[in-house]
Structure 1
Amino acid sequence: MTRVVVIATGGTIASESTGAGVVATRTAAHLLDTATITGVQVETIDLMTVGSYRMSLHHLRMVSDAVADLLDRTDDPVDGIVITHGTDTMEETAILLDLVHDDPRPVILTGAQRAGDAGDGDGPRNLTDAVRVAASPDTRDLGVLIVFGGRILPARGTRKVHTTALDAFRCTTGSRVGDVTDRAVTVAAVPRRPKPLPRPTADLDHTRVDLVETYPGADDTLIRAAVKAGATGIVIAGTGIGNANPTIVQTVNELVHNGIAVVLSTRVPEGPVCGVYGNGGGADLVAAGVPAASGLPATQLRILLALWLSQSRNESQSITSMIDTHADNKED
């Protein structure tokens, strides 16, 4: 019989209403009691019970380590893994897992928009779907996936795009992988994925990468504050196609010269990031040595940059080649 392991980390799917608000309390076994799963042997692990808005890079690495341990297990090997997770930062955990995933077996993230004690909660259906997808032979070699609201989405490029809707996630850099219904798991597309990076180490926990958004009247205050606080990397979520202003460009020139890793993204949900405009725009940032990244949203780009900065590498591995390979899939 197919064996799937469910790793519980908390989130809305595991939450219930209290006098202090909705709080994650429920175990993986409790979640399974609400799902409708047949024909699959399910094992449970309670890794943590937190809202994903509280997660740090340490928590993300804990999830990655738990997945690696299961995939490396030789006694009672697993066929697939499901992670129940809060929706707020699911996209960050998903990309970290996918960046290092080097196994054909599927790893699925799911969660809920409504608390576990809600009468019309979406958690039971999402968990049922996720286990079915993890157990399906059709989802091997697809990497890490998010299963939510009947959709099967690639980890890469998928974002939470609505605060409360039951179909809250969408891939903003490509198409969805498929769908799951009461009758079948249907795979319509195979995600294109670069070669995996090494698994994260404890160095990731203390690697600071800040995400700074530009806006009318923005100056370099937040960027300089991030570096002063210890950031070794910065993702700039520029306006439009990836723009800033002359003040920010001048500061970024200085930071890049001093060894700070800076990458250009956009605050716009969809579309490419390119160095087109001068006079403080993306063309000036690219000329300063800042690569423009289109293949991952800014939230996921931050995780990639933190992982890359936390790992040893030789001098030939430039930040531009890293972005080309692991964000934009320009190299195989």
Structure 2
Amino acid sequence: MTVTELREAHVVLLATGGTISSRASGTAGAAVASDTGEQVFASIGVPASHPVRVVDVFRKGSYLLTVDDMVVVCAWIRKALADPQVLGVVVSHGTDTMEETAYLVDLVHDDPRPVVFTGAQQAADSRMPDGPGNLSRAIAVAGSPQARGRGVLLAFAGTIFPAAGVRKNHTTRLDAFGNPDFGTAGWVSDTGEVQMQQAPSRRAPLPLPGVGAGSPRVDLIAAYPGADSTLLRASLQAGAAGIVLQGTGTGNANRDLCLQIADATAAGVVVVTSTRVEAGAVVPRYGDGGGADLSAAGAIPSGLLRPSQSLVLLSLLLRLDTPAAGIAETFARRGMLPD
């Protein structure tokens, strides 16, 4: 762990790995997270907008992370914010699952100071890495008074997004993220000038699970042409406490999946229906195995939350021993746009 102590007002950089820290490794040259947080910070090559204290949390590609790892990130953020000299926190993170970790942190974040996630699409040893610019801009956002009271943000390629609803929408493009339903929160220039839009109301945070909260299994099952309930049954047999169903359209499946979901919910398994569609809410509208029948079978519509963030919210609620009615109420509230 690398920690550079600072007694003045500063931003904390929590380094977790990802492409921003990756370099070619081995004979095949595959990129692997390898740079320390200090190396990632040093890569910006220009004076940061605010003094920065660096902490290495871990060094992983985000495709390797578990929900337990994400809870660890939440705990490190709380530890960093225990210091009153901290203006805000930046988390350098892989882009593959940044939307999941950022959303989990947002769900439990109980502090006006901003937490800003960022990363890179190009590895640290590429010809034109984008990580240094993204990090420099994220530091500016984390230390900006304008970003206070806005929860967890994601700053990438100059655009600032709220954590809720954000998703990676391009595999390789430098502006890799979008948020078609919840929109953007603002912009940050290459020179660190931050412009924020009007802040929506913040919902009350959920508790952060303790060490002994356990790790209930939550699986993601997709509906697709010709899908049967084989994978769903396998998930249940593996001990899943929760299922996120990636439906089609407005959140639809078929009769076979619907029957199995009715059995699962009757047995106490919590099932949430989301959709593979890019934008728009899950609306229980159709019968014959569609969304209306799924709701009748006990499945909970996710609203505007896509499968990735539905899985995070469901995992958190199960860790908190939330009853099914409370889970349904939480999805109804958090799956809609804030006031």
Q: TM-score, normalised by structure 1?
A: 0.95
Please state whether the residue corresponding to 2:86 is helix, strand or coil. coil
Q: CA deviation at 1:135?
A: 0.6
Q: 2:158 aligns with which of 150, 155, 165?
A: 150
Change (3 A) 1:269 1:192: farther
Distance in 2, matches of 1:38 and 1:171, equals 27
| Secondary structure in structure 2 of the residue aligned to 1:68 | helix
Could you tell me which amino acid in structure 1 is paired with residue 67 of structure 2?
Answer: L
Out of 175-184 and 278-287, give the one that drifted further.
175-184
Task: Show the 5 A alignment for 1:132-171.
Answer: 132-171=140-179
Give 2:296's aligned residue. 287
Q: Output the CA distance in 1 between the equivalents of 2:238 and 2:284.
A: 28
Give secondary structure in 2 for the equivalent of 1:223. Answer: helix
| Equivalent residue runs for 1:209-248 within 5 Å | 209-248=218-257
Q: Give the whole-Å Cα distance in 2 for the aligned partners of 1:159 and 1:281.
A: 25
AA partner of residue 269 (structure 2): I
Equivalent pairs: percent with the same residue?
Answer: 44
Report SS of the residue matched to 2:122: coil
Q: 1:245 to 1:189 in 2, by over 3 A?
A: same
Please show how residues 63-212 of structure 1 align to structure 2 within 5 Å.
Answer: 63-73=73-83, 77-183=85-191, 184-203=193-212, 206-212=215-221
Which digits, 9 at most, give the CA deviation of each residue in 1:96-134, with x for residues without a partner?
000000100000000000000112010000000000000
Higher mean C-alpha displacement, 198-207 vs 38-47: 198-207
Matches within 5 A, 1:298-317: 298-313=307-322, 317=325
Question: What SS class does the counterpart of residue 102 from structure 1 fall into?
Answer: coil
Q: 1:53 is aligned with what amino acid?
A: Y
Which residue matches 2:5?
A: none
Do residues 264 (structure 1) and 273 (structure 2) align?
yes
Give the C-alpha shift of residue 319 in structure 1: 2.4
Residues 8-58 of structure 1: CA distance to partner in whole angstroms, max 9, x if unpaired? Answer: 000000000122410111011111111123441110001100100111112
Q: Which residue of structure 1 lines up, in the alignment, with residue 10 of structure 2?
A: 3
Match of 1:13 in 2: 20
Q: SS of 2:174's equivalent? A: coil
Q: Which amino acid aligns with 1:42?
A: V
**Cα distance in 2 for residues equivalent to 1:41 and 1:151:** 22
For structure 2, list consecutive stretches of 5 or more residues without a partner in the other structure.
1-7
Is the 8 Å Cα contact of residues 270 and 324 (structure 2) preserved in structure 1?
A: no
Aligned amino acid, residue 244 of structure 1: A
Larger displacement relative to structure 2 (19-28 or 159-168): 19-28
SS of 2:54's partner is: strand
Q: Secondary structure at the match of 2:208?
A: coil
Residues 235 and 262 of structure 1 are in contact (CA less than 8 Å); yes or no, is this contact kept in structure 2?
yes
After superposition, the C-alpha distances for 1:161-190 in whole angstroms (9 at most, x for unaligned) are 000000000013221001111351110242
Distance in 2 (CA, whole Å) between partners of 1:316 and 1:117 is: 48
TM-score of the aligned structures, taking structure 2 as reference length: 0.93
SS where residue 197 of structure 1 aligns? Answer: coil
Q: Deviations over 1:217-265 (max 9, x none)?
A: 0011111111111210001110111100000110111111110000110
Distance in 1 of aligned mates of 2:231 and 2:201: 35
User: Which residue of 53, 56, 65 corresponds with 2:63?
Assistant: 53
How many residues get paired? Answer: 328
1:326/1:126 CA distance change after superposition, 3 Å? same
**Structure 1 counterpart of 2:50:** 40
Cα separation, partners in 2 of 1:203 and 1:219, compared to 1, 3 Å: farther
Contact kept? 1:242, 1:264, Cα under 8 Å: yes
Cα separation, 2, equivalents of 1:85 and 1:204: 25
User: Would the aligned equivalents of 1:177 and 1:191 in 2 still touch at CA under 8 Å?
Assistant: no
Runs (5+) with no aligned partner, structure 1: none
Runs of 4 or more above 6 Å deviation: none
Q: In 1, Cα distance between the equivalents of 2:49 and 2:326?
A: 48
Distance in 1 (alpha carbons) for counterparts of 2:48 and 2:91 = 18
Distance in 1 separating the partners of 2:307 and 2:259: 22
1:316 CA displacement = 8.7
| In 2, Cα distance between equivalents of 1:2 and 1:283 | 53
Instruction: Find the aligned partners of 2:22 and 2:94 in 1 and give their Cα distance.
Output: 10
1:263–1:293: 8 Å Cα contact kept in structure 2? yes
Match of 1:25 in 2: 34
Instruction: Choose from 274, 278, 283 the match for 2:287.
Output: 278
- Say whether the 8 Å CA contact 1:58–1:204 is kept in structure 2: no
Contact 2:48 2:139 in 1 (8 A): no
